[in-house]
Amino acid sequence: MLIIGCGDIGRRIARIAQRKGESVSALVRTTQSRTELQKLGIHVIQADLDDEIEALDVEDVRVVYLAPPPRTGTHESRMKHLLNAITGSPEAFLYLSTTGVYGDCKGEWVNESRPAAPVADRARRRLHAEQQLVNAATRKGWRYVIMRVAGIYGAQRLPLQRIKERQPVLRAEQAPFTNRIHEDDLAEITLGLLENGGSGEIYNVTDGHPGTMSDYFTTVARYAGLPQPPEIDMRQAEIEMSAGMMSYLRESRRISSRKMVDLLGAKLRYATLEDGLKAIFGRRPE
């Protein structure tokens, strides 16, 4: 297996694969990442995908692409540089994309047949990466799978500082729907789809229990034993909240995970947000 961009999620995937006896390599940008991964028994290739890189032989290798896109623009140059460098035919190529490519769905349920209609540039970059992979894989006859992943949460991914700073949330009746997946479940699902996903198929990856963004913050606060965030309306939010946060608040969708579940028979370790938070905090709030 070759993991492109081996951060926290990549390391979780690598550990599971290693336990199953698979050799794992990773392509990373920084020397620090290289050192840390080598300690885990991972062979490391150090390269910066913001530039053209040397030829990379992936013959009969399972490629898992986790690297984030560039921070600006609507095009994904990192995927382009990787695809240009590849020689040989991978056994499979899996790309971790985002459910953000669906754009604002007005709170409707969304499955994989819904056309992509990204609103935010960060989602446009992901869709551009998907399109590049589809074009290359179709032309060369590769087996490939695209995962569209909901918001990832875990012990080190919770908005505790934001809650401690008493930053506000939208009033419940105005809050958009959002979707999430626990980091450990994501790692297991990635391997499951890498092994069993249909070639050329797209799979939504979420726990299947959407909630509102305000519910997310208030539930985390409750489990963490912190005061509930103050509520404001959308008019106030336009004034007080960052442009980045507002871009999330202007999109609402409920993501169906039925296709993933039907394929994998996926029994998630953390089927709901509260299941995940109970494991993180070791208890349910009183």
Is position 91 within any domain? Answer: yes
- What is the model's pLDDT at position 271? 95
Is position 54 within any domain? Answer: yes
State the CATH number of the domain containing residue 71: 3.40.50.720
Q: What is the mean pLDDT of residues 110-131?
A: 98
| Packed helices 8-19 and 183-196: angle between N→C axes, nearest 10 degrees | 60
Residue 286 has pLDDT above 80, yes or no: no
Query: Which range marks the domain in which residue 63 is found?
Result: 2-155+180-209+254-271
- pLDDT tens by residue, 38-78: 999 999 999 999 999 999 999 999 999 999 999 999 999 99
Looking at the 3D structure of the chain, how many domains does it have?
Answer: 1
Is position 66 within any domain? Answer: yes
Local confidence band at 267 (pLDDT 50, 70, 90 cut-offs): confident
User: What is the Cβ-side half-sphere exposure of residue 283, based on CA atoms within 13 angstroms?
Assistant: 6
CB count in 10 Å sphere of residue 77: 18
- What is the model's pLDDT at position 19? 97
Strands (E), the chain: 2-4, 25-28, 43-46, 56-57, 62-65, 86-87, 92-98, 109-110, 144-149, 151-153, 169-170, 177-178, 180-182, 201-205, 211-212, 231-232, 254-255
Is position 175 within any domain? Answer: no
Extract the tokens encoding 196: 């069993």
Average pLDDT, the chain: 97
> What is the CA angle 248-153-44, rounded to 5?
110
- Scan for tokens 């940008």, then name that residue: 29
- pLDDT tens by residue, 183-228: 999 999 999 999 999 999 999 999 999 999 999 999 999 999 999 9
Is position 230 within any domain? Answer: no
Is position 249 within any domain? Answer: no
Counting DSSP H helices and E strands in the chain, the numbers are: 11, 17
- Scan for tokens 């032989």, then name that residue: 57
Is position 229 within any domain? Answer: no
Extract the tokens encoding 49: 């995908």
Share above pLDDT 90 across residues of the chain, in percent, rounded to a whole number: 98
Is position 243 within any domain? Answer: no
Share above pLDDT 70 across residues of the chain, in percent, rounded to a whole number: 100
Whether pTM > 0.85 for this model: the answer is yes
Q: What is the mean pLDDT of residues 162-171?
A: 97
- What is the model's pLDDT at position 229? 97
Indicate the residue type of 207: D
